[in-house]
C-alpha cells in the first residue's frame, strides 16, 4: 500500500463564454456540487480518475452546462456528446464522440479506459460498447430541452442574417468589423464564430499575456492567480449559449487525472467532433507533467494541440499559473481563439486562465472550496 504524499486537489470548470447574469448562480452552484462530489472521493483516499469521473458526471447531469442533458443541439435538432478521461499515472485514456443515446458520456469514456484495448469509439460503436458493459441506452429526446430548441432557432436566424456568434468573445464593439477574416495576421478559416475586434498586434503578445484575464491583487500562494467572486460577468446584452465542462485532480498518492465532456457547439453539423475528447487538445494528463482541461471554440484549440502544449510547459519548469496564461495567450496570438483552461501540476500547483468574458470554475484543496465566474 502506497503512503499518501500529497494534499488532494480538484479543479473543475463549467465552460468559458459570455455568461449572462441570470445564469450566474446556477453556474456557481453547479461547479460547487461537482467539487463536493469529487473532493469527497479524494479525501477518502480515492483515485484522481474516480474523482474526475464523479465531478464531470455531476456537471453532465446539470442542464446549466453544455454537457449531457441540456446540451446544444446540432443543425438537425439532436444532442451529440463527446468526452475524454485520462489517467496520468498510466497514460491510459478513454474517449467517445458523437454519442446520442448515453446520458453520461464521461462514464462511457471510463469504460473505454478500463475495459478496452482501444482508446476511442464514436457514434453507434461507442454506444454499443457502453451498452455491452451495462450502460443503459436512452432516447435522444431525453437529452433535449425546450430551451435548446429555442436557442437553435435563434442561431439559425442569426446565421441567415450573416451575424457572428459571440458566444465566446462577448458583444461586438460598434463600428468594428465582426468577421475576423478581415484582420490580416489573425485569419482562422474555421473560427468566424469567435469573431471579436482584435486590437493587439501579434508582435505585442508576449509570455503571460492573456486578453480578458484580470490579475488578482493577492495571488494564491501556490501559484494560481484567482479572484473568487459570486458576481456574474456583467454583459450589456443576453447570450444564449454555454460550453464544455471539465475537471483535473491530484490524489493523495500523487497521481493526476483529467476529464472533459461537451455537447459541442450550437447548430453544429452532425458528426462534428471538437477538441474536448481529443487527447492533447481539450484534455490531457501525465504524472510527469500536468493535467489539463480546456474549454472554448474547439477548432483553434485542436490546431494548436493546446492541452499538450500547456502540460509540456509545466514539464519544462514553467509554473502552472504562468503556463495557463501562456496557453491562452498563444491561442489568441496564433488564431485569435477564445477559451479557458484549468491546469494542475503533480506538486499541487495550479493555474486558471481565460480570455472570454467569463468562466465558471471551482477549486477544492486543503484550503477549502471556492468558486468563481472570472479570473
Q: What is the pLDDT of residues 329-348, one digit of tens each?
A: 999 999 999 999 999 999 99
Tell me which residue of 356, 341, 338 sits closest to 298, measured CA to CA.
338
Beta partners for residue 343, in sequence order: 292, 351
Do the Cβ atoms of 264 and 82 come closer than 8 Å?
yes
pLDDT digits (tens, 9 = 90+) for 186-215: 444 444 343 333 333 333 333 333 333 333
Distance of CA 146 to the CA centre of its chain: 24
**All three cell numbers of 24:** 450566474
Tell me which residue of 205, 276, 256 sits closest to 47, measured CA to CA.
256
**All three cell numbers of 182:** 478581415
Catalytic residue among 9, 49, 167, 244: 244
Tell me which residue of 70, 76, 74 sits closest to 144, measured CA to CA.
70
Distance of CA 35 to the CA centre of its chain: 15
Do the Cβ atoms of 51 and 39 come closer than 8 Å?
yes
158 or 166, which is more confident = 158
C-alpha to C-alpha distances, 83 to 142, 232, 283, 316, nearest whole angstrom: 18, 27, 9, 28
What pLDDT is stored for residue 6 in this prediction? 74
Active site residue 244: yes
Could you tell me the pTM of the whole model?
0.83
Name the DSSP class of 104: -
Mean residue pLDDT across the chain: 83
pLDDT digits (tens, 9 = 90+) for 73-125: 999 999 999 999 999 999 999 999 999 999 999 999 999 999 999 999 999 99
Amino acid at each position: 500500500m502506497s503512503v499518501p504524499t500529497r494534499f488532494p486537489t480538484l479543479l473543475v470548470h463549467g465552460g468559458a463564454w459570455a455568461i449572462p447574469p441570470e445564469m450566474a448562480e446556477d453556474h456557481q452552484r453547479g461547479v460547487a456540487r461537482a467539487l463536493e462530489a469529487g473532493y469527497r472521493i479524494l479525501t477518502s483516499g480515492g483515485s484522481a480518475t474516480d474523482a474526475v469521473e464523479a465531478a464531470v458526471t455531476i456537471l453532465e447531469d446539470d442542464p446549466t452546462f453544455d454537457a449531457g442533458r441540456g446540451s446544444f443541439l446540432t443543425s438537425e435538432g439532436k444532442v451529440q456528446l463527446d468526452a475524454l478521461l485520462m489517467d496520468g499515472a498510466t497514460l491510459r485514456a478513454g474517449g467517445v464522440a458523437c454519442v446520442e443515446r448515453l446520458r453520461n458520456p464521461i462514464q462511457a469514456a471510463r469504460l473505454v479506459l478500463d475495459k478496452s484495448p482501444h482508446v476511442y469509439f464514436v457514434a453507434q460503436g461507442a454506444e454499443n460498447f457502453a451498452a455491452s458493459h451495462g450502460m443503459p441506452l436512452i432516447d435522444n429526446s431525453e437529452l433535449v430541452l425546450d430551451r435548446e430548441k429555442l436557442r437553435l432557432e435563434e442561431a439559425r436566424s442569426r446565421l441567415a442574417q450573416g451575424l457572428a456568434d459571440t458566444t465566446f468573445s462577448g458583444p461586438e464593439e460598434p463600428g468594428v468589423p465582426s468577421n475576423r477574416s478581415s484582420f490580416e495576421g489573425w485569419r482562422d478559416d474555421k473560427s468566424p464564430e469567435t469573431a471579436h475586434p482584435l486590437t493587439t498586434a501579434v508582435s505585442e503578445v508576449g509570455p503571460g499575456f492573456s486578453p480578458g484575464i484580470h490579475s488578482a491583487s493577492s495571488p494564491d500562494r501556490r501559484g494560481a492567480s484567482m479572484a473568487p467572486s459570486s458576481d456574474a460577468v456583467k454583459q450589456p446584452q443576453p447570450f444564449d449559449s454555454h460550453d464544455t465542462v471539465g475537471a483535473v485532480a491530484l490524489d493523495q498518492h500523487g497521481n493526476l487525472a483529467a476529464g472533459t465532456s461537451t455537447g459541442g457547439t450550437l447548430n453544429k453539423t452532425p458528426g462534428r467532433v471538437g477538441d474536448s475528447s481529443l487527447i492533447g487538445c481539450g484534455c490531457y494528463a501525465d504524472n510527469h507533467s500536468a493535467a489539463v482541461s480546456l474549454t472554448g471554440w474547439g477548432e483553434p484549440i485542436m490546431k494548436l494541440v493546446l492541452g499538450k502544449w500547456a502540460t509540456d510547459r509545466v514539464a519544462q519548469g514553467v509554473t502552472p499559473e504562468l503556463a495557463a496564461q501562456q496557453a491562452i495567450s498563444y491561442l489568441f496570438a496564433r488564431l485569435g481563439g477564445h477559451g479557458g483552461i484549468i491546469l494542475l501540476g503533480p506538486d499541487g500547483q495550479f493555474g486558471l486562465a481565460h480570455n472570454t468574458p467569463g468562466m465558471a470554475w471551482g477549486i477544492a484543496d486543503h484550503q477549502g472550496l471556492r468558486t468563481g465566474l472570472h479570473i
